[in-house]
Amino acid sequence: MNKIGKIVFGLTMLGSLCSCNSNTIVYQGHTRFLYSLDGQQNTWSETVQEISVGTTYYLAVEMRVTQSKETNDEKIIKADITIPNTSVLDCYLDDHPGVTITGMPDLLHNSITYTFNLVSAVSPEKFRVVFECTPLAAGRADVLVVYDNNVSESWDVTGTIKYVNPESEDPSSANSAS
């Protein structure tokens, strides 16, 4: 075998060694947190940073899992949404209003975890869950989305919202209104 033949053979062998991992499918989680005070379609925002204590609001968590290659078999990825105990009043799937989802309470961490099955795809549809919440006290709440072991933990995400005490009414504005 001449020198060029040895180089081609070496590159072919190297290529076959590297291609053994080319069948591996990589999964990536994509998450958005949206907030709304009335839950109407055009009022969702990613920029809400504060909610007054006692104000009912809606939290939508949009998730999807992309995969690096098409496959014949659907891969189900589990996603856990953990909500601190912020008085979650109702939980329903956006596509199926009124369906109650039961979460698993964690009394030690004072939280509730909901588990959802997401179907991964190269171009997956978004999966949206809406929570109705009412904060009971001033402070911060961290909502955590954790994907199962098929998805790198670097795709897990936390959304934080701040709860503030409502501003007391200014007595001078109350007198001017009467």
What gap in Å lies between CA 51 and CA 165, rounded to an integer? 9
Beta bridge partners of 9: none
What string of DSSP letters covers 31-48? EEEEEESS--GGG-BS--
Query: Token pair of 134, please?
Result: 């009412």
DSSP H/E element including 172 = helix 171-177
What gap in Å lies between CA 89 and CA 15, rounded to an integer? 56
What gap in Å lies between CA 142 and CA 126, rounded to an integer? 22
**Per-residue confidence (pLDDT) for residue 163, from 0 to 100:** 87
What gap in Å lies between CA 133 and CA 6, rounded to an integer? 68
Instruction: Determine contact, residues 121/48, Cβ cutoff 8 Å.
Output: no
What distances in angstroms separate CA 1 from CA 10, 14, 16, 29, one per listed residue? 12, 18, 20, 49
**Per-residue confidence (pLDDT) for residue 17, from 0 to 100:** 46
SS3 103: coil
- DSSP letter at 148? -
- pTM for this entry: 0.75
Mean per-residue pLDDT pooled into runs of 10, the chain (178 residues): 56 47 85 90 85 89 93 90 67 56 83 90 90 85 94 95 76 45
**Per-residue confidence (pLDDT) for residue 62, from 0 to 100:** 94
What gap in Å lies between CA 89 and CA 131, rounded to an integer? 8
